[in-house]
Each structure stands twice: as structure tokens, then as C-alpha cells.
Amino acid sequence: MINIQMVDLKSQYQKIKQEVDIEIEKVISNTAFINGSIVKEFQNNLAEYLDAKHVITCGNGTDALQIAMMALDLKPGDEVITSNFTFIATVEAIAVLGLKPVLVDVYKDTYNIDIEAIEKAITPKTKAIVPVHLFGQSADMEAIIEIAKKHKLKIIEDVAQATGGEYTFSNGETKKVGTIGDIGCTSFFPSKNLGCFGDGGAIFTNSDELAESLSSIVNHGMKVRYYHDKIGVNSRLDSIQAAILNVKLKSLDTYNNARIEAADFYDKAFKNCEKLITPFRSKNTKHIFHQYTLVTKNIDRPKMQEFLKEKGIPAMIYYPVPLHKQKAYESYGLSELSFPITEELCKTVISLPMHTEMDNEQLEYITKSVLEFTEK
């Protein structure tokens, strides 16, 4: 049987092993493990790739979100609006600072934050919006910018699943996601579109003032050593990870295009299947398929997962429980509210293997097996 994984990091590593190993070896030899010059080099390279003025690396994507909110001076009790259909880290960062997460529903087609729902959720206490570019596709940034301007809100983009993704404005201007709002936050968790060999994250901004604040917060709130102007955290990308990311960044577009090609293959195979709705791609986004997520119709999802598992095909549910139903968030009084789209998606979505090393043999086998189940 062919070996199929949700994410195949081993095969990806084999192709860049020589270069990566040399770069890791260099860091070990010169022992600048923390804040080595390679970290600065990677920050500059990523800033250039994104066309962002500043990139500040940090320990992981969750920290990136928290640090962004600290830099924007959000205070306990301030309300932050975000999507109910995302990974927990997005709301965690809000809650951990004593801010109030205000969850809103998403669109049925893009799975991204619903613009009208944002408007309805705004109160005098609202300070920021955190759009999540879920599964690799940009949220509707033009509309979000308009709302933010109207209500004087900050925008923090959660780019953890979409590094390298793009959004095109109605005037034709295209930008990389994460460089559109006030601050963009990403993760280099190994399975993300740009992943390292451990934990890592980064924060993007075009504001000099915010960049200065962010750089100080990631490093104990200091600019001059042992003089602490702000309350900060310790959140750093280590030099070994920066060295690896420097190598992988060169292939990011190739990696993202490989994902898009795999998604094209899936789309074509499932086009006529009435029980599966293939992922929607907005005309004004470059969807880079962090996940390939289908919506199932009249399907016993656990049975489908079991059937695929027996054939050696992993399939995952991102995400099985809406955030407002999570035990840890009960005290926010969200569980009584209704989020019909998120609730329906949690019951019906299924994600198929998606990574940079998918070949036609694997794709044929997976699609044939999925269709064998749906046609039963």
C-alpha cells in the first residue's frame, strides 16, 4: 500500500536535506543560538518576500497574536472580534490578556469571518478585529478595512494558515496577507505552509512605531539591555529555526503552488459528486490550501473517516467543536448564542491529505477511495 500522510514533512526534508544540514551545522559551529545574525537575515528576507516594512520573529504563532495585542495597548475589558471557526489559539491570545473575545459567524463558502456579523457585534468597547485567513484563503480584507476605518478599530490578521497567500483589492492592487491590516501574525509550526523544525512565529507590520514596540515586547520590554520600558515577554525564534526557514522560504511559492495543484486535482475529481462540496475560491484571493477541506452532504462522516483509514488514508476534522461551545470559554456567556454556519461546518467538514509532496499516484488513490465511499 502507498504511504499517505496528512502532511509529509519527511519527503520534503529529503529534497532540501543537504542545504538545511549545512545551515544548521553553521549555527552550531558559531554557537550564536539566540539572536544570531541569521535571525536578522531571515527577518529581512521574509520582509522582502512579503513586501512588508518590518518582520519581527517570535516563539510561535500564539505568542505572535498576544504580542500584537500588547503592542496595540489593548486593555482588560476591551472587546476583540474574531471568527468562531478557527483554531483555539486565536481566541486564547485574546482571553489570556483579559480582553473579551467576541465571536462571530463565518461565510458558508469561504469559512471566513462574516462581514455583516462583524458590524452587528461592534459596541463602544470594541477595539480590534482579528480576521483569520482560514485554510489558506484570505478573508474579505477590503470590507474589513472599511469597517475598521468607520469604527476606528485595529486589524490584526491571523496568517498562521496562509503565509504567502494573497488578496487583490477592487482597484487591482494585490498584497500578501498579513501586510494589509495594522499587524499580521504567523506561525512556523512544522505543518504550516512555511514551517520550521520546531516552534516559531513572526509578526509583520508597516508601521515603524508598532515595529519598535513589538521588537521590545518580544524581548522583555527592553530596548537598552536591562532597562525595561514596557511589560514584555520572552518570545524568540532561535537561530537554528531561522537558518532552516531561510532555506525553506526560497521554496515557499513552489510549495504553495504544489498545494494548489493538489487542490486542483481534488476539485476535478469531486466536481460531479453530489455529496461533496469542494472548497470555494474567491476570485480576489490566492488560496494556498493549508488544508483541503470539503463539506459533506448526507454522509456519515465517522464512517467515511473509518473507511478511508482502513485504506491507509488519514482524514481530519478541522474543527469538530465551535469555539463558543468550548468548556474553557463558558464564562464568556457565548454558549447560549447561535452561530448556525459554524455549527453546521463543524458537523460536516472533512479535510483530506494536503502537503507539498503529493503525487498523482497518491491523489488518484485518495480520490478513487473517497468516491468509492460516496457512491456506495
Ligand X SMILES: *Cc1c(COP(=O)(O)O)cnc(C)c1O
Positions in the binding site for ligand X (CB under 6 A) = 60-62, 86-87, 89-90, 132, 158, 160-161, 187, 189, 199, 201
Residue whose Cβ sits closest to ligand X: 61
Q: Which is nearer to ligand X, 189 or 266 (CB)?
A: 189
Closest approach, Cβ 64 to ligand X, in A, equals: 7
Q: Which is nearer to ligand X, 187 or 216 (CB)?
A: 187
- What distance lies between CA 4 and its chain's CA centroid? 23
Closest approach, Cβ 291 to ligand X, in A, equals: 9
Residue appearing with cell numbers 456506495: 376
Q: 261 burial class (0-12, 13-18, 19+ CB within 10 angstroms)?
A: middle
Residue 368 CA neighbour count, 13 Å, CB half: 8
Q: Which is nearer to ligand X, 200 or 353 (CB)?
A: 200
If one counts every other C-beta atom within 10 angstroms of the C-beta of residue 232, the result is 20
Task: Kindly give, in sequence order, each residue whose CB lies less than 8 Å from that of residue 178, ignoring residues fewer than 6 positions away.
Answer: 50, 52, 157, 159, 162, 163, 184, 185, 186, 204
Q: Which is nearer to ligand X, 12 or 187 (CB)?
A: 187
The CA distance from 112 to 141, in Å, is: 11
Which residues in 138-155 are b (16+ Cβ under 10 Å) and which e?
bbbbbebbebbeeeebbb
Cell of 126: 470594541
The CA distance from 142 to 187, in Å, is: 24
Closest approach, Cβ 186 to ligand X, in A, equals: 8
Closest approach, Cβ 241 to ligand X, in A, equals: 11
Q: Which is nearer to ligand X, 86 or 112 (CB)?
A: 86
Q: Which is nearer to ligand X, 132 or 276 (CB)?
A: 132
Q: Which is nearer to ligand X, 62 or 112 (CB)?
A: 62
Closest approach, Cβ 275 to ligand X, in A, equals: 27
The sheet that has 349-352: what strands, in order across it?
276-277, 292-296, 349-352
Residue appearing with cell numbers 498576544: 66
Closest approach, Cβ 68 to ligand X, in A, equals: 11
Cell of 335: 454558549
Q: Which is nearer to ligand X, 137 or 187 (CB)?
A: 187
Q: Are 118 and 138 in contact (CB under 8 A)?
A: no
- What distance lies between CA 230 and its chain's CA centroid? 28
The CA distance from 197 to 188, in Å, is: 8
Q: Which is nearer to ligand X, 87 or 289 (CB)?
A: 87
Q: Are 72 and 185 in contact (CB under 8 A)?
A: no
Closest approach, Cβ 134 to ligand X, in A, equals: 7
Closest approach, Cβ 132 to ligand X, in A, equals: 5
The CA distance from 232 to 218, in Å, is: 6
Q: Are 315 and 305 in contact (CB under 8 A)?
A: yes
Closest approach, Cβ 296 to ligand X, in A, equals: 22
